[in-house]
Amino acid sequence: MRLKTIRADDTIKHIALHGRLDIKGVTDIQYDFMQETTVGPRPTVVDISKVTFISSLGIGMLVSAAKHMEKRGARMVLLNPTELVRSTLETSYLNELIPIVSSESAALELLR
């Protein structure tokens, strides 16, 4: 599991996750992900197009980060999940709490 920062400035952060958000993947990435999203939080696009699997533990990591961000006035948007990952997120009703979009321009529009 890898995390890559695409953009980080005063107004927005754009990060990308690669790999499997399962027990092992979440263990690998959770600390860095929480640091990136919740320390001095800014509106954040999380590109999950390269996430090939997500379990309830991975969903919990996204929820924890988004909750911390919201308390400090920042929002998270999830970008471009695969069909199966999107189906998992929707089955967990996460799309009702964290927007899921299919393009970077739509993500930036929501975070503006």
- Residue 103 contacts other proteins per CB under 8 A: no
Q: What angle is formed at CA 47 by the lines to CA 41 and CA 49, rounded to 5 degrees?
A: 160
- Residue 92 contacts other proteins per CB under 8 A: yes
CA–CA gap between residue 93 and residue 105 (Å, rounded)? 23
Instruction: Tell me which of 5, 56, 102, 103 binds other proteins, using CB under 8 A.
Output: 56
Applying CB under 8 A, the span of 1-9, 41-49, 53-61, 104-112 interacting with other proteins comes to: 53-61
- Residue 60 contacts other proteins per CB under 8 A: yes
- Residue 93 contacts other proteins per CB under 8 A: yes
For the beta carbon of residue 74, count every other beta carbon within 10 angstroms: 19
**DSSP string over 16-56:** EEEEEESHHHHHHHHHHHHHHHHSS---EEEEEEEEEEE-H
Comparing CB distances to other proteins, the nearer of 7 and 96 is: 96
CA–CA gap between residue 63 and residue 82 (Å, rounded)? 19
Site string for other proteins, 13-52 (x = CB under 8 A): ---------xxx----------------------------
Using the structure block, give the residue that is written with the tokens 């379990």. Answer: 55
Which residues are at the interface with other proteins (CB under 8 A)? 22-24, 53, 55-57, 59-61, 63-64, 66-67, 70-71, 84, 88, 91-93, 96-98
